[in-house]
Structure 1
Amino acid sequence: MDYWLAEIITIGNEVLSGKTVNTNASHIGRRLTSLGFTVRRITVIMDDADEIASAFREAIDRRPKVIISSGGLGPTWDDKTAEGLAKALGVDLELNKTAFNMILEKYTKRNIPLTEERKKMAYMPYGAIPVENNEGIAPGIYIYHNNIDILAVPGVPREMENVLENFINKMLRNKPNLKYLEDFIYVENVMESALAPYVKELVKKYDIYIKTHPKSYELSRPILEIQIAGSGREEEEIKAKIEKVKNELVDVIKKLNGIIRNSL
């Protein structure tokens, strides 16, 4: 498999405390995977500029193609993402004129005054490009640094999704041009541990991703969802490889007296 690596950073005390479920990382991960990226790591950190800077530095040192963070772009005192990213890059935090005009226009249309707190959302690391947020106020922050696409999106899910799509469609430089395909087998009456050695051999044989997802307790009546996924430049080659793996897995499942189901 070809690997184009990506990392995700989620910023927010509410995620760490368990108050908010990290659905943003799930969405970003799925979207990046659909483009052919392999998400290597998801990091969750608190609303602290030094923690944010450290997370970005460490991610940059690992040299992925893309780093996307979510959260911490709002007007409140604890929204620290722009500050942390500037620290990580060793540049100043400055008022971005383009971002300022984006924000000013939205508040002016609603006859709402532009306070210092609202103006705060226009401060970005030097050299950053604001990404349009059609669902809210705070623009995303985009920087191309050391051949890495770095994007910070708002934490509100609908805003995150909108800014992410604007980035992918208009700004993303490191496009893998890989096709990602996956298929599933649903199995009853086969233990995950019994299937494991066969899966291990197939992964080696075909250089493909195979993951078993248990859906019940192994020692009762085991139910498995088997995910088979591959990426590459030729869609037909990936399809053929996945089909070969499926056929071999089905043979193994029958050998183990498993039952193939159409769905769970």
Structure 2
Amino acid sequence: MKRSFIRYISVQVHMEEHGDTLIGALVVGNEILLGKTRDTNTIFLAENLLRRGLKLRRWVVVPDNERDISRELSRFMEDGYGIIVVSGGMGPTHDDITVRSIARGLGISLGFNEKCYRRMVEKWKRNNPGKKMPETARSGLDKMAYVPADFDLIENENGMVEGLVGVVNGGRSIVFILPGVPGEYRGIVTTRKFQDYLPRKDASSVTIIEIPFRGKESMIAACLGEVQKRFRDIDIGSYPQGPMNVVIRVTGDRENVMRAVDEIRDRLREAGFSD
């Protein structure tokens, strides 16, 4: 019985030729590694970067452990990453150690940031009108006001703790430290200040074509592998959307993408699948 692969969707974005500016995400959280929380933040980041013609090149998740955080940050910098987006572990509790771990990994000191503290106190007062701040809350705000030396603040309009950004590694890397709460993370990523730190260079066109396929992924694996061998400068991936639905995604320069899509369609027809 024939199963058909139907329409295809062409999406065109501008992919910047950003040279050696590699972008990575370092996510901190035991709850993610334990499967208790899904990291939707990094997916949002990757989608946001793609709309700007940029690509997330590495995504690492580590536990709430100072050595692991510092080690992975060092690996990013050793591998030449120009932008590293760290998230999670910025809260007031004892296991929120990300900011301290990043500072130690960079070999820089933490200092009390009066501006950061004032902003958080103002937020607390707005959220608790007429109430006296308890000592536990004041202690938590005090902890979150310690910022790595020379890091700047990025205002968090959706939560308490501020986002942080610093130019490090002798000017070769930019490190963001963002809260892990999705609404807060997304709000900061879409700020003008965050976006202004991203690369801005001449853009060339990149085309993304998605081909919905009705069938199992195993039915098209060999076909896609053969096409990928012929078109090494583009990306061909298959993504199951259910037991009998797969999306084939082809990404790259328009000419090669269109040629690869035509070849995929021809090969699937030859295998007995119809449009």
SS at match of 1:65: strand
- CA, structure 1 residues 184+170, in 2 after alignment: closer, same or farther (shift >3 Å)? closer
**How far is the alpha carbon of 1:169 from its aligned partner?**
5.0
Q: Which residue of 2 aligns with 1:252?
A: 267
1: distance between equivalents of 2:47 and 2:202? Answer: 16
Post-superposition Cα deviations, 1:193-230, rounded to whole Å, max 9, x if no partner, equal: 331343223422xx11111224567xxxx653210112
- CA, structure 1 residues 36+183, in 2 after alignment: closer, same or farther (shift >3 Å)? same
2: distance between equivalents of 1:196 and 1:142? Answer: 41
- CA, structure 1 residues 177+70, in 2 after alignment: closer, same or farther (shift >3 Å)? farther
SS at match of 1:84: helix
Say if 2:84 is the partner of 1:84: no
Post-superposition Cα deviations, 1:4-24, rounded to whole Å, max 9, x if no partner, equal: 521111111111111111222
Of all paired residues, the percent bearing the same amino acid is 25
Q: Is the 8 A contact 1:94 1:126 kept in 2?
A: yes
Q: Give the alignment's TM-score, normalised by structure 2.
A: 0.80
Which letter does structure 1 place at the counterpart of 2:160?
Answer: I
1: distance between equivalents of 2:104 and 2:251? Answer: 38
Say if 2:222 is the partner of 1:199: no
Which letter does structure 1 place at the counterpart of 2:87?
Answer: S
1: distance between equivalents of 2:178 and 2:118? Answer: 18
Q: How many residue pairs were aligned? A: 247
- CA, structure 1 residues 107+188, in 2 after alignment: closer, same or farther (shift >3 Å)? closer
Say if 2:28 is the partner of 1:11: yes
Which letter does structure 1 place at the counterpart of 2:258?
Answer: E
2: distance between equivalents of 1:251 and 1:75? Answer: 58
Say if 2:164 is the partner of 1:141: yes
Q: Which residue of 2 aligns with 1:49?
A: 66
- CA, structure 1 residues 216+71, in 2 after alignment: closer, same or farther (shift >3 Å)? closer
Q: Is the 8 A contact 1:65 1:174 kept in 2?
A: no
Q: Which residue of 2 aligns with 1:158?
A: 183
2: distance between equivalents of 1:170 and 1:138? Answer: 19
Pairwise mapping of residues 211-222 of structure 1 onto structure 2 (< 5 A)?
211-215=237-241
**How far is the alpha carbon of 1:243 from its aligned partner?**
2.7
Q: Which residue of 2 aligns with 1:125?
A: 148
Q: Which runs of 5+ in 2 are unaligned?
A: 1-14
Q: Which runs of 5+ in 1 are unaligned?
A: 231-237
- CA, structure 1 residues 165+74, in 2 after alignment: closer, same or farther (shift >3 Å)? same
Post-superposition Cα deviations, 1:112-159, rounded to whole Å, max 9, x if no partner, equal: 526121121111110000111010110111012232221111111000
Post-superposition Cα deviations, 1:152-189, rounded to whole Å, max 9, x if no partner, equal: 11111000100111266554143355455422012245
Q: Is the 8 A contact 1:192 1:224 kept in 2?
A: no
Q: Is the 8 A contact 2:224 2:264 kept in 1?
A: no
Q: Give the alignment's TM-score, normalised by structure 1.
A: 0.83
Pairwise mapping of residues 94-105 of structure 1 onto structure 2 (< 5 A)?
94-105=111-122
- CA, structure 1 residues 44+257, in 2 after alignment: closer, same or farther (shift >3 Å)? same
Q: Which residue of 2 aligns with 1:233?
A: none
Q: Which of 44, 48, 57 matches 1:27?
A: 44
Q: Is the 8 A contact 2:213 2:245 kept in 1?
A: yes
28-37 vs 41-50, which moves further = 28-37
Q: Which has the higher contact order (CA 8 A, sep 6+)?
A: 2
- CA, structure 1 residues 197+54, in 2 after alignment: closer, same or farther (shift >3 Å)? closer
Which letter does structure 1 place at the counterpart of 2:77?
Answer: I
Pairwise mapping of residues 174-253 of structure 1 onto structure 2 (< 5 A)?
174-175=199-200, 178=203, 180-188=206-214, 191-204=219-232, 207-215=233-241, 223-230=245-252, 238-253=253-268
- CA, structure 1 residues 53+163, in 2 after alignment: closer, same or farther (shift >3 Å)? same
